[in-house]
Structure 1
Amino acid sequence: MNSESLIQIYDRRLEDGKIRPDPDQQKIARMLQGLNDNLKKASQPEAGITNLLKFFQGGLQDKRLMKGLYIYGPPGRGKSMLMDLFYDNSSVIKRRRVHIHPFMQEVQTKLHQWRQEGGGKQAKEPLPRLAQEIAAESPLLCFDEFQVEAVVDAMILRRLFETMFEYGVTVVATSNTAPDDLYKGGLQRDRFLPFIELLKEKMQVVELCGGTDYRRDRINSVGVYHSPLGVGAEEALNDAFLGLTDGAEGMQEKLLVHGRTILVPKAARGVAYFPFDALCVQPLGVADYWTIACRYQTLILSEIPIFKPSDRNIAKRFSILIETLYEQKTKLICSAAAAPDNLYTEGDGAEIFTRIASRLDEMQSEEYLSAPHNPAAPKVL
């Protein structure tokens, strides 16, 4: 853990010009610092192991120590950056940062496994057992892009989080959606409403709505379509990844689609980096592209080729990918061998490809780059 406090690191970034002065960000940074201070106090040796255990089991009388933070607002305002500052400098050793979709996927997989092991009879209500396991493994949970779209998730969340909070789990979450608007229009939403009240009871809810979209500014500064291919184009993509992720190295991630695993070569903070061949030469389809488009706010795609007549299937996959990204308003930063109009000029699908060329042009526009990402839960999971 860094010896500097969250506030000190934030102020240093201001001084270095890495971030701009933003009163809303500064307010939330102070709130996160306060939460970290409370967590640190609970873990002080002089407090004794008894108090620490009580804290993580919800036993301390000062329930303010239990309050997490729910940060919501439009994309690009710095929500993830602030949460990452908190996470990277937290005094809680056993902590986890995770996207809500893979987390719920893990929950559903584990519940299914337990029911299978017990022949459907082992535990009529396995959620308390799971909540206790989560609390033991990660008493601090940080969720990025918290959204609820799938009915199965909506029905599980209330009971799971209720028990997690009872076991003392502290939750920090970022979202584009206010708590009251979660799962809006969803099936059986009336059964989900108590979960919203639970969030507001156990977490401080704060809006980050500064007027500057920092992510859009960063994308504009690096450009989104780099052609022709070459060292300069690849350097631009690497710079874009570093800029959009605040210098994160990126790690491999795995996405599960219909029982199959998609390997994401490099990802961090809502940005995924793929070589063209991994997405369009491999036999992927709509479900795979939908999952990627929902999971990541920005896709960086390297080395789009000029399509030959024999590349019809590859060009078709690329077309499906672009249409899917467009539907979800996922931002695309790419390197290509030619301008969009010149990528596919000969072959059976060349005439239809003019629509995709138009999409690629539109996805470079200020209007598209300003549109909020639609992180709908992948329907294929």
Structure 2
Amino acid sequence: MGRVTDLYHQRVASGALRADPAQQAILPQMDRVLDQMAAAPAPRKSAWRAFLGVGSPDPAPVVKGLYLWGGVGRGKSMLMDLMADAAGDIPCRRVHFHEFMQEIQAGLHAARGRGEQDTVRPVAEAVAAQTRLLCFDEMQITDIADAMIVGRLFQVLFDQGVTVVTTSNRVPEDLYKHGLNRQLFLPFITLIRERMEVTCLDSQTDYRQNRQGGPVWFAPADAQARAALDAAWDDLTGGATPTPLTLQVQGRAVTLPAHVGRVARSGFWDLCGRPLGPADYLAVAKAVDVLLIDGVPRLSASNYNEAKRFVTLIDALYEARVRLIASGADQPEQLYNEGEGSFEFERTASRLREMQDAAWGLREGDPQTPIV
């Protein structure tokens, strides 16, 4: 096991990162989590429990996790990556919160099919059997199905000795704000405060805004933008004849109108005008390396559902490092300026800005040649 502080300073020294006092202030808290986990014994099942056939292990040592929140582009995801890298022999999983909850919901569905009375416990115990440290990126809860089970889910995870470190754009008290039946969600906020150290990353710098990218976002979405996307498409596909790409997701067909190899193209309404969700967009992100989207409109309360789907789509593309080329009614920061959902869209606009960088999508060790 390494130390997050050491990894951070190594990357600063190599020029991969620029030292930031607000980020540096978080490092000791991350080191504290890993040091305590390394010193704590792993949960075990006693011989008596095994003899009696009781499934739950002995009470697990409690290592308080970390809830890191703050504005977009401040380096929260980067710090989470460093922590996962530093975990060493500690069984650790680094995953986007959306993706994790999709897996949980699939597990609950399977448990119901087996006739389980308590569907949450076996799913949580299966996670705990493989993982001691869960590193979540972008905890946000907008789905009532997730909101209604997270409290019980995380209580079982914590009781099983799982430590959680997560990033979020919101202070815990603003999670699932104005959501349906929110009073049933409130105990989860209390649980976060009990089991995680809540810390704000108060950097004044949005690193995503400071990165300059190539021409992969075209605004306004006029004939000139259409021609630019046509040219990019021809260049990426070599003029090959496209065909539709249909993905089967949980019994639904998700169709991208045109694809050649792992390059696909779709209109905004094809992807966001239909009742699709995180599982559908994760499937799209796994199926392509480059996605072209035509005609992202201005977003507001009048197309709130479509805007919400677009946010989820961009999250999936971002996590999978899918290259995006798109045309929109305006620059990302100006697409959704007011009304319900505009706060959440700040993160999406920041990610869209970051994804314009020519080297975005490259992972450490990749050849330094952009896809487009």
Would you call these one fold, judging by a TM-score over 0.5?
yes
Which of 160, 168, 173 aligns to 2:166? It is: 173
| 1:84 correspondence with 2:81 | yes
User: Residues 139 and 284 of structure 1: is their aligned pair in 2 closer, same or farther, counting only changes over 3 Å?
Assistant: same
Residue of structure 2 in register with 1:116 after alignment: 113
| 1:201 correspondence with 2:194 | yes
Which of 270, 275, 278 aligns to 2:263? It is: 275
In structure 1, how many angstroms separate the alpha carbons of the residues matched to 2:263 and 2:24? 37
Which of 11, 16, 19 aligns to 2:9? It is: 11
Shift of the alpha carbon at 1:141? 0.9
1:325-344 alignment, distance < 5 Å? 328=310
Residue of structure 1 in register with 2:98 after alignment: 101
In structure 1, how many angstroms separate the alpha carbons of the residues matched to 2:297 and 2:58? 46
User: Residues 15 and 127 of structure 1: is their aligned pair in 2 closer, same or farther, counting only changes over 3 Å?
Assistant: same
Q: Which residue type is aligned with residue 37 of structure 2?
A: L
Residue of structure 1 in register with 2:224 after alignment: none
Which of 328, 331, 353 aligns to 1:362? It is: 331
In structure 2, how many angstroms separate the alpha carbons of the residues matched to 1:147 and 1:111? 20
Q: Which residue type is aligned with residue 76 of structure 1?
A: G
- Is the 2:96–2:137 Cα contact (8 Å) retained in structure 1? yes
Q: Which residue type is aligned with residue 25 of structure 2?
A: K
RMSD: 4.3
Residue of structure 2 in register with 1:239 after alignment: none
Which of 125, 149, 152 aligns to 1:159? It is: 152
- Is the 1:326–1:363 Cα contact (8 Å) retained in structure 2? no
User: Residues 364 and 100 of structure 1: is their aligned pair in 2 closer, same or farther, counting only changes over 3 Å?
Assistant: closer
User: Residues 284 and 257 of structure 1: is their aligned pair in 2 closer, same or farther, counting only changes over 3 Å?
Assistant: farther
Residue of structure 2 in register with 1:373 after alignment: 347
Provide Cα deviations, 1:76-116, integer angstroms capped at 9, x if missing partner: 10001001100012034422122222222222222222222
In structure 2, how many angstroms separate the alpha carbons of the residues matched to 1:148 and 1:87? 23
Q: 1 or 2, which has the higher helix percentage?
A: 1
User: Residues 21 and 223 of structure 1: is their aligned pair in 2 closer, same or farther, counting only changes over 3 Å?
Assistant: farther
User: Residues 125 and 303 of structure 1: is their aligned pair in 2 closer, same or farther, counting only changes over 3 Å?
Assistant: closer
Deviates more, 1:284-293 or 1:148-157: 284-293
Residue of structure 2 in register with 1:241 after alignment: none
Q: Which residue type is aligned with residue 12 of structure 1?
A: Q
1:43-54 alignment, distance < 5 Å? 51-53=41-43
In structure 1, stretches of 5+ residues that fail to align are 43-50, 235-253, 264-273, 305-316, 341-355, 376-381
In structure 2, how many angstroms separate the alpha carbons of the residues matched to 1:152 and 1:334? 30
- Is the 2:91–2:130 Cα contact (8 Å) retained in structure 1? yes
Count of paired positions: 290
SS at structure 2 position matched to 1:373: helix
Shift of the alpha carbon at 1:290? 6.6
1:1-40 alignment, distance < 5 Å? 5-40=3-38
Q: Which residue type is aligned with residue 35 of structure 1?
A: V
Which of 168, 175, 178 aligns to 1:185? It is: 178
User: Residues 289 and 275 of structure 1: is their aligned pair in 2 closer, same or farther, counting only changes over 3 Å?
Assistant: farther
User: Residues 156 and 94 of structure 1: is their aligned pair in 2 closer, same or farther, counting only changes over 3 Å?
Assistant: same
Residue of structure 1 in register with 2:65 after alignment: 68
Residue of structure 1 in register with 2:273 after alignment: 286
Residue of structure 2 in register with 1:251 after alignment: none
In structure 2, how many angstroms separate the alpha carbons of the residues matched to 1:303 and 1:179? 34
User: Residues 126 and 327 of structure 1: is their aligned pair in 2 closer, same or farther, counting only changes over 3 Å?
Assistant: closer
Q: Which residue type is aligned with residue 163 of structure 2?
A: T
Provide Cα deviations, 1:226-284, integer angstroms capped at 9, x if missing partner: 868579x98xxxxxxxxxxxxxxxxxxx9947644689xxxxxxxxxx7343x459x75
SS at structure 2 position matched to 1:173: strand
In structure 2, how many angstroms separate the alpha carbons of the residues matched to 1:302 and 1:124? 43
Q: Which residue type is aligned with residue 118 of structure 2?
A: E
Provide Cα deviations, 1:322-374, integer angstroms capped at 9, x if missing partner: 975798565997558xxx7xxxxxxxxxxxxxxx5xx1x43487998x96135
- Is the 1:58–1:165 Cα contact (8 Å) retained in structure 2? no
User: Residues 23 and 148 of structure 1: is their aligned pair in 2 closer, same or farther, counting only changes over 3 Å?
Assistant: same
Which of 294, 300, 319 aligns to 2:295? It is: 319
Which of 134, 137, 144 aligns to 1:144? It is: 137
SS at structure 2 position matched to 1:26: helix
Scaled by the length of structure 2, what TM-score is found? 0.64
User: Residues 105 and 191 of structure 1: is their aligned pair in 2 closer, same or farther, counting only changes over 3 Å?
Assistant: same
In structure 1, how many angstroms separate the alpha carbons of the residues matched to 2:263 and 2:334? 23
SS at structure 1 position matched to 2:150: helix
User: Residues 171 and 287 of structure 1: is their aligned pair in 2 closer, same or farther, counting only changes over 3 Å?
Assistant: farther
Residue of structure 1 in register with 2:210 after alignment: 217
In structure 2, how many angstroms separate the alpha carbons of the residues matched to 1:291 and 1:108? 11
In structure 2, how many angstroms separate the alpha carbons of the residues matched to 1:284 and 1:187? 26
- Is the 1:39–1:91 Cα contact (8 Å) retained in structure 2? no
Provide Cα deviations, 1:5-36, integer angstroms capped at 9, x if missing partner: 32122112222332222111011122111211
